[in-house]
Structure 1
């Protein structure tokens, strides 16, 4: 995703379909295009308020009630942190589960694990376990955890799914 213009064009093309009841997104907030609506006016607040500010600005820009934007706080790998125990079953790496769980406790929840370039969730996973596969192990661990436990640990994800449920 190099620019908001490219994303917006795709969203608007999809919304031309009048049979569509809802359209949503699933992008990482980390490294989201800086030219996207709301990115330049993010409040100096907690991460939940910052991401919701951008989502609201994107929704307002698109201006279609069927569009429900969602940005993963901070990146998809935060959900893998929620599934630390399940990842430990897949990758019997000594200490992996304990490191992930400690990061979650230190951050205050999986969605709050630091988004700094050196300590982003994906960077931490790669540093903690050289054999971790982002495209294989991550989705398997998340699937093994299940949606309800994931929702319970990730309030931003839960809020988005609750909107879609309604």
Structure 2
């Protein structure tokens, strides 16, 4: 990126996304010249006491946080790190997704989210199918951290699916569910982010085309 000072904010779904955004995505964007900040969606705002953070329950919650962040006129771009897996059915674009591959379906939802907000600064991004797909891209690195035959099982799943982003999103077979089945001691907020950091962003992007396209929009 060239030109004047610019700000981007990453609105993320949960603690795992926050760790990866801070440790992997943020340094890359800042290396391109973006001033970058990160926050979690807020699940509810009680009358007294702090807001509860993390997790997406519906469109009203997402829209509220997005609009509040866009009230900051110094912000040039607001983007998201939300899982496509279990994304709320009432969000724009979910009910009329086209038939076709997952990339077409996700991009349809992202376009509808942008249209619903109606602010050109908003660039929604959904992770296919969830952030743990990025951990599957780091199969060797996770295997080195946790041992056993874990790396081989992850590699086999990636090969069968045709890529880490294509591992399906069934309630028992989504990437996060597979990781826990293969290694019950897996800690998603620690083990996954460490493996992704060890893999490095360049190799992660090579394995995850949707992630690569999202980041590429910041590099022009």
Normalised by the size of structure 1, how large is the TM-score?
A: 0.97
- Residue 20 of structure 1 and its aligned partner are, at CA, apart by 0.2
Moved over 2 A (4+): none
Question: 2:35 — aligned with what?
Answer: none
Any gaps of 5 or more consecutive residues in structure 2? 1-55
SS of corresponding position for 1:74: coil
Aligned residue number for residue 110 of structure 1: 164
Q: Which protein has the bigger strand share?
A: 2
- Give CA-to-partner distance per residue, 1:61-96, whole Å, 9 cap, x none: 111111110000000100000000000110012x21
Q: Give the unaligned 5+ runs of structure 1.
A: none
**Helix, strand or coil: the match of 1:119?**
coil
Matched, 1:98 2:152: yes
Tell me the CA shift for residue 164 of structure 1.
2.2
Instruction: Give the equivalent residue in structure 2 for 1:24.
Output: 79
Q: Which structure's residues are more often helix, by fraction?
A: 1
Partner of 1:130: 184
Match of 1:143 among 197, 209, 219: 197
CA drift of 1:165 comes to 2.2
Deviations 1:88-133 (A, max 9, x none): 110012x211110010010010000110001010010001112211
Q: Which residue of 2 aligns with 1:53?
A: 108
Root-mean-square deviation (CA), in Å? 0.7
CA deviations 1:3-46 (Å, max 9, x no partner) are 10110111011111110011001000001110000000011110
**TM-score (norm. length: structure 2):** 0.74
Q: 2 CA distance for matches of 1:41 and 1:165? A: 31
1:158 aligns to what SS in structure 2?
A: helix
Partner residue of 2:127 out of 51, 55, 72: 72
**Count of residues paired in the alignment:** 165
For residues 161 and 209 of structure 2, what CA distance do their matches in structure 1 show? 14
Aligned to 1:88: 143
